[in-house]
Structure 1
Amino acid sequence: MHDRNLSRRTLLSATAAAAGVVVAASPAAARSSRRDRLLRLISRMSLEEKVGQLFVMRVYGHSATAPDQADIDLNLQEMGVRTAAELISTYHVGGIIYFAWAHNTRDPHQIADLSNGIQRAGLAQPTPVPLLISTDQEHGIVARVGRPATLMPGAMALGAGASRVSAQMAGQLAGAELAAMGITQNYAPVADVNVNPANPVIGVRSFGADPAAVARMVAAQVKGYQGAGIAATAKHFPGHGDTTVDSHTGIPVITHTRAQWDEIDAPPFRAAIAAGIDSIMTAHIQFPALDPSNDPATLSRPILTGILREELGYDGVVVTDALNMQGVRDKYGDHRVPVLALLAGVDQLLNPPDLAVAWNAVLDAVKSGELSAARIDESILRILTLKEKLGLFRDPYVSHRGVDRTVGVPAHLAAADLIAGGTTTLLANPEGLLPLSRLSRPNLLVVGADPASPSGTTGPPTTVLANAFTELGFSATALSTGITPSSAKIEEAVAAASDKDVVVVGTYNVSATSPQRTLVDRLVATGVPVVALAIRNPYDIARLSGVGAALAAYSWTDVELRAAARVIAGRTRPRGRLPVPVQRADDPSQVLYPIGHGLRY
């Protein structure tokens, strides 16, 4: 599509030049012309259409006009409409967000067809306007679009690789695949600096704990995604990295001082803005040093207008985190949240729990004068400017042919494996157990946690790992013991280890009381060498003892597990370095492994 439009422009320019017409315009003149054109479009919108442009909403179903009956029932129950097309014609929403659980992302062709149907519905409105179609495709543990699309390593894995080239390439290729399916706004990269190991919601979704390193990776990903023609979104402003509460279920409080915010939380967002970020997502967190009212940042004018707009100079689109999350609902009712968010400086209102309540609340606020028409038009202009930048007014449609040329193609899959190959971190290898290539065809047992699989997996982690070892020429047996292994499962694993040469244990966020510790202790006691592989947060090694080797994979998606298997087997060398410190379990003030730690062989 890009090449075709370039050819059109070249042809038009050549034709005009032959006719003696000057077609060149200064950048300022072009911006002024675009602004005037979009303002004319806004002037033709009804108030209801304007309010609708501010909302980005979920919808159930694989089709814009003919979803399954179960999805129709859910749409009627939650939004009073049957389909995506009805949602758009009723509420004139400016965007749709895709979720796997909403049955929007079955396969690439279906996603492309859904996107086209949504755009047809947008252009069938009284004032035709294409939609921004968004999703959370962070990669790693958060991926709404799964196989056969290419799944890249997640943020902390990329942070361990520390390659800006790899981070940009991952964004570029992943962005191209999203664009081919008609997804034009990705809620990535995460710009939070994960300085709290107990953070229950960010963790490996962050690039790391070093603000400067995170800033470099965020900027690289922004360039990658937006270089592919989609909008990137830096999240969660003003920084969600030092929390012990999940904003999905409560309201986190950040206790950083203003000076600490400048030093720790701000650099990645500054870097994103310098890289030309198209949108920034807010956080449902209280940050008293930035706003003593303790309003959630999503509803805070001092934070969103005072700091983000005025101090940092950002004039792009600001989108809320999902408004159905508890962190933004605790202090005010659902009818006040969208109005307060707009007053704070937000442009897009994402996924309110009750669209009718939210939509009517904004409509009434404009009619009453609480929200001025100028304030609404300001946000709509930003949204439409982004839509035009992405080419949606020119051609919002995609094709199966474009999907087949782009999504999950061998070159992208190979690039994902190449990038992942630089991320696995070897934390400990006290007696030189690794690489296993030193042993003669060892017989392996793969046990451990099998968390719910993200979209980028072909099966439980133990199975994926065992299959990867088998493909590398080893003999490997998988045994799932779960995140909280029972006594019976632990005994089964111990018995299964009796005739094996090595046991590989996949651990998942091991706590002080986790039965995973008992599992590892019992396996170590058998005398069979044990390799511990952390498949989520890399802090597990601090609570384990006696293992022959310990590594961090940062996720349990196929691409990262295959990379870890290659390192353990000795087919590739470990190149990842810790992007976060691992503290001692018995004394968190002491660092067991610092940022940058990573063994080699």
Structure 2
Amino acid sequence: MTSSRRTAAALAAATALLLALGAAGPSATATTDVEDVVAAMSEDELVGQMTWVHVYGSGAEDRSRAAENRARYGVDTPADVVRKYALGGVLYFAWAGNTDSPEQVADLSAGLQDAAAAGPGVPLAITVDQEGGEVSRLGHPVTDLPGGMALGATFDPQLARGQGEVLGAELAAMGVNVDWAPVADLNTNPDNPVIGLRSLGADPATVSELTAAQIQGLQSQHVAAAAKHFPGHGDTDVDSHTGLPVVAGDPAELAAHLEPFRAAVAAGVDIVMSAHIVVESIDPDMPGTLSPAVLTDLLRGDLGFEGLVTTDALDMAALKQLPGNPLDDGDIAVLAIQAGSDILLAPPDVDAALAGVREALATGELTRERLEESVTRILEWKVERGIWDGAERPGLDVVGSPDHRAVAAAIAERAVTLVRDEGAVLPLDPAAGPVLLAGAGSAWPERLTPLLAAEGLTVTERLESGTSPSRGYRAAVRSAAEGAAAVVLAVDDLRADAAQQALVTELAASGTPVVVVLAGTPYDYAAVPGEVAAVLASYGTSTVSHAGVAGVLSGRVLPTGRLPVEVTAPDGTVLAALGSGVRRTEEVTPAAVTFTDLPGTQDDAVEVPDVPGVAYLLDGQTLTPGTHPAEGTVVVTAQADPPSAYHLADGADARWEHTFDAAEATPDAAEPAPAEDGGPAGWLLPAIVATLLAAALVLAARTLHRRR
């Protein structure tokens, strides 16, 4: 046989094999399996896969919360709920008894997966709201991570990815495969009652970059991320848990709020969660969760999202408050599916939702094909995310590990923003005398006491529970301040509380230096009088956030945080600009990296400069100054090193991307010589065929194993 005939035969064999495999490797086999499973499902089972709800109890067969399960679902145990509805997913909550300890959560997850093996035999999505900060359903010993706005104040995508990796690894260890995070909302309304500190900030570019980094970190641990709340809940002044927010959706403002979601889609986010808000410029009649214009036209069409679309929790009040258009639970389920949602999250009455979908199928408002479309997408995601085959997960020893706590501490310390320091009050001098600690009970100032003592400061306390300081408490604090070297006053929601404002004003007039710690949103800075010596923003009341504050107060940590939002006075005057903050670290500017890209790959390289105070990273690994081999697409980033001593200059370039050309140099206008017997084309194509055949055998074995 001639060389050309052998080549043609090899190409034909390779082409036939690729066609047999669907040119897609494992996903083709998985798709075929999914199609078979979906086709065999009843309509109720299809709706069950689209329904993800919470269950009551600490174990799959736990009957201690049977009354609550029975009242909501008509059965006794968490496993009964899964089996009754052939559920596609469950949600974990502390108040439902699901999150006592990592070991218990892991056992519950395993038990529920066993229950899901009945019926269609599709494994569960096991989900939790673990954002960090104030929305954290899993407590100690799970790593206590700061919330979104604290992360935003670092302006550091490496820390954002690190937070995602910590969340993903710890959730995976407990059998959780979906985290309802990150919050991709821009918080542009200071009066937002539901987003606030959960947001990464108000700057579209920064929030986009940090959102994408969190998603990549989470999903690197085989845990799905869910960007929420589309198309943006950050400009609202109504909590959709209790009311129906309505925003105009000015085109320019809407475009800004969509940027983080575009970045999430580009980063490969698995899930996007809708918002129960009406955006009048898109759909003046329906909230996003029930609007085809939002979920189908905008999210699927404009943004090109191909993953899973989920409603926000359907037991929130917003959807029952459409003016002149009362909806029941069946109506809401049908409208959400028609709008484009794949997942009905936490419907308050599953039986009513199921009945509504059955009726819509009977009348033709919905079709089986529409349900199959969503369920196919859900099942294919379960295959791709490794849920179907029970992908390996880390051991429970990663939960709360020292390495993970170090990431949390780094975020908290880097977040602390020194908004004001008149007269260089900070750091506090241990030799000057005792520090008085006081503040609103909701700011949890008592958590600061042992942390400040560990930093070497002598602390006296004047504490009172509650959000609003009493007149007697304020008098006691003023009296105690007379003998203190300084007062550290933690406040929370200062703008809304006249008694807290009075305490701040009275202490500022006492003559003792006052350091106000904004443990709530940084918008509270607008209510701090000018007489206050120093103001810190910590973006949270958790112990890890207070530890960052203690480090800055003592001087062990130099402040590097910057405001991720703008703070204005009631008349619109800018009091503190986005990105502002007093930084005591040295400013450095990274020098650009250079790329050597010659024909072929042998000499391709990245040249890293030597800049004191700057570290260059490739794929999260620090590069030493000098030349490093490289190939494919590479992204090099720069960060301050160590961040306790340096910070990057505002606006400095800190990211470089290059795709190396792997093409070999060829003589000008030269035609490749035909391959002779035994030449490259003579052995390469048969080798490809042999490799593909081996892959086909492996895939067949895996498929047979899965079907068994």
| TM-score, normalised relative to structure 1 | 0.90
Task: Select which of 323, 329, 332 maps to 1:334.
Answer: 329
- Quote the offset at 1:83 in angstroms: 1.1
- For residues 342-491 of structure 1, the aligned pairs below 5 Å read 342-395=337-390, 402-437=394-429, 439-440=430-431, 442-451=433-442, 461-481=444-464, 482-491=466-475
* Counterpart contact for 2:21–2:29, Cα < 8 Å: no
- Quote the offset at 1:360 in angstroms: 2.0
Query: Partner letter of residue 354 of structure 1?
Result: D
C-alpha separation between the residues in 2 aligned to 1:23 and 1:563?
58
C-alpha separation between the residues in 2 aligned to 1:300 and 1:106?
38
- Quote the offset at 1:302 in angstroms: 0.8
- Quote the offset at 1:31 in angstroms: 3.1
Query: Partner letter of residue 48 of structure 1?
Result: D
Alpha carbons of structure 1 residues 27 and 510: separation in structure 2 relative to 1, 3 Å: farther
- Quote the offset at 1:560 in angstroms: 1.1
Larger mean CA deviation between 472-481 and 181-190 belongs to 472-481
**Map of 2:48 onto structure 1:** 52
Higher radius of gyration, 1 or 2: 2
- For residues 262-341 of structure 1, the aligned pairs below 5 Å read 262=255, 264-292=256-284, 294-331=285-322, 332-341=327-336
Query: Partner letter of residue 472 of structure 2?
Result: A
C-alpha separation between the residues in 2 aligned to 1:442 and 1:394?
62
Task: Select which of 210, 217, 225 maps to 1:224.
Answer: 217
Query: Partner letter of residue 298 of structure 2?
Result: I
Task: Select which of 157, 161, 167 maps to 2:154.
Answer: 161
- Quote the offset at 1:40 in angstroms: 0.6
C-alpha separation between the residues in 1 aligned to 2:20 and 2:574?
60
**Map of 1:104 onto structure 2:** 98
Alpha carbons of structure 1 residues 397 and 115: separation in structure 2 relative to 1, 3 Å: farther
Task: Select which of 44, 68, 84 maps to 1:90.
Answer: 84
* Counterpart contact for 2:110–2:175, Cα < 8 Å: yes
**Map of 2:513 onto structure 1:** 529
SS at match of 1:245: coil
C-alpha separation between the residues in 2 aligned to 1:339 and 1:26?
35
* Counterpart contact for 1:175–1:228, Cα < 8 Å: yes
Task: Select which of 184, 197, 202 maps to 2:195.
Answer: 202
Task: Select which of 538, 541, 563 maps to 1:556.
Answer: 541
C-alpha separation between the residues in 1 aligned to 2:539 and 2:421?
18
* Counterpart contact for 2:283–2:291, Cα < 8 Å: yes
* Counterpart contact for 1:182–1:397, Cα < 8 Å: no
For the pair 1:119 / 2:113, whether they are aligned, the reply is yes
SS at match of 2:233: coil
**Map of 1:600 onto structure 2:** 583
- Quote the offset at 1:306 in angstroms: 0.6
C-alpha separation between the residues in 2 aligned to 1:157 and 1:405?
26
Query: Partner letter of residue 351 of structure 1?
Result: A
- Quote the offset at 1:369 in angstroms: 2.3
C-alpha separation between the residues in 1 aligned to 2:486 and 2:537?
18
CA RMSD for the aligned pairs?
1.9
- Quote the offset at 1:76 in angstroms: 1.5
Query: Partner letter of residue 414 of structure 2?
Result: G
Query: Partner letter of residue 343 of structure 2?
Result: Q
- Quote the offset at 1:22 in angstroms: 11
SS at match of 1:336: helix
Any gaps of 5 or more consecutive residues in structure 2? 1-16, 585-708
- Quote the offset at 1:216 in angstroms: 0.6
C-alpha distance after superposition, 1:33-80 (max 9, x if no partner) = 322210111112222211100111011111111142xx2211122222
Alpha carbons of structure 1 residues 49 and 257: separation in structure 2 relative to 1, 3 Å: same
* Counterpart contact for 2:21–2:28, Cα < 8 Å: no
C-alpha distance after superposition, 1:419-463 (max 9, x if no partner) = 2221100000011111114x5164122211233xxxxxxxx7212
- Quote the offset at 1:345 in angstroms: 0.0
C-alpha separation between the residues in 1 aligned to 2:463 and 2:377?
50
For the pair 1:520 / 2:504, whether they are aligned, the reply is yes
Larger mean CA deviation between 326-335 and 377-386 belongs to 326-335
- Quote the offset at 1:396 in angstroms: 6.5
State the percentage of identical aligned residues: 42
Larger mean CA deviation between 274-283 and 96-105 belongs to 96-105
- Quote the offset at 1:29 in angstroms: 4.5
C-alpha distance after superposition, 1:102-161 (max 9, x if no partner) = 1111111111011111101001x2221110011111101110011101122211111110
Any gaps of 5 or more consecutive residues in structure 1? 1-20, 452-459
Larger mean CA deviation between 252-261 and 162-171 belongs to 252-261
- Quote the offset at 1:26 in angstroms: 7.6
For the pair 1:137 / 2:120, whether they are aligned, the reply is no
SS at match of 1:511: helix
* Counterpart contact for 1:462–1:479, Cα < 8 Å: no
- For residues 28-43 of structure 1, the aligned pairs below 5 Å read 28-43=24-39
C-alpha separation between the residues in 2 aligned to 1:197 and 1:24?
58
C-alpha separation between the residues in 1 aligned to 2:379 and 2:462?
52
- Quote the offset at 1:528 in angstroms: 1.9
Larger mean CA deviation between 158-167 and 31-40 belongs to 31-40
Alpha carbons of structure 1 residues 323 and 22: separation in structure 2 relative to 1, 3 Å: closer
C-alpha separation between the residues in 1 aligned to 2:59 and 2:477?
45
For the pair 1:568 / 2:553, whether they are aligned, the reply is yes
* Counterpart contact for 1:502–1:529, Cα < 8 Å: yes
C-alpha separation between the residues in 2 aligned to 1:446 and 1:101?
32
Larger mean CA deviation between 440-449 and 133-142 belongs to 440-449
SS at match of 2:329: coil
SS at match of 1:480: coil
Higher-strand-fraction structure: 2
Q: Taking CA–CA contacts closer than 8 Å with sequence separation of 6 or more, which of the two structures ends up with the larger relative contact order?
A: 1
C-alpha separation between the residues in 1 aligned to 2:386 and 2:106?
16
- Quote the offset at 1:513 in angstroms: 4.7
* Counterpart contact for 2:493–2:521, Cα < 8 Å: yes
SS at match of 1:540: helix
C-alpha separation between the residues in 1 aligned to 2:111 and 2:354?
23
Alpha carbons of structure 1 residues 258 and 600: separation in structure 2 relative to 1, 3 Å: closer
SS at match of 2:176: coil
Larger mean CA deviation between 468-477 and 442-451 belongs to 442-451
**Map of 1:236 onto structure 2:** 229
Larger mean CA deviation between 471-480 and 534-543 belongs to 471-480
* Counterpart contact for 1:462–1:506, Cα < 8 Å: yes
* Counterpart contact for 2:27–2:384, Cα < 8 Å: no
Alpha carbons of structure 1 residues 145 and 529: separation in structure 2 relative to 1, 3 Å: same
C-alpha distance after superposition, 1:567-595 (max 9, x if no partner) = 1111110000001001124x2x1111101
* Counterpart contact for 1:182–1:396, Cα < 8 Å: no
SS at match of 2:415: coil
C-alpha separation between the residues in 1 aligned to 2:583 and 2:141?
33
Equivalent residues, number: 562
SS at match of 1:468: helix
Alpha carbons of structure 1 residues 480 and 64: separation in structure 2 relative to 1, 3 Å: farther
SS at match of 2:408: helix
- Quote the offset at 1:394 in angstroms: 1.0
C-alpha separation between the residues in 2 aligned to 1:418 and 1:27?
45
**Map of 2:696 onto structure 1:** none
- Quote the offset at 1:526 in angstroms: 2.5
For the pair 1:215 / 2:208, whether they are aligned, the reply is yes
Query: Partner letter of residue 484 of structure 2?
Result: K
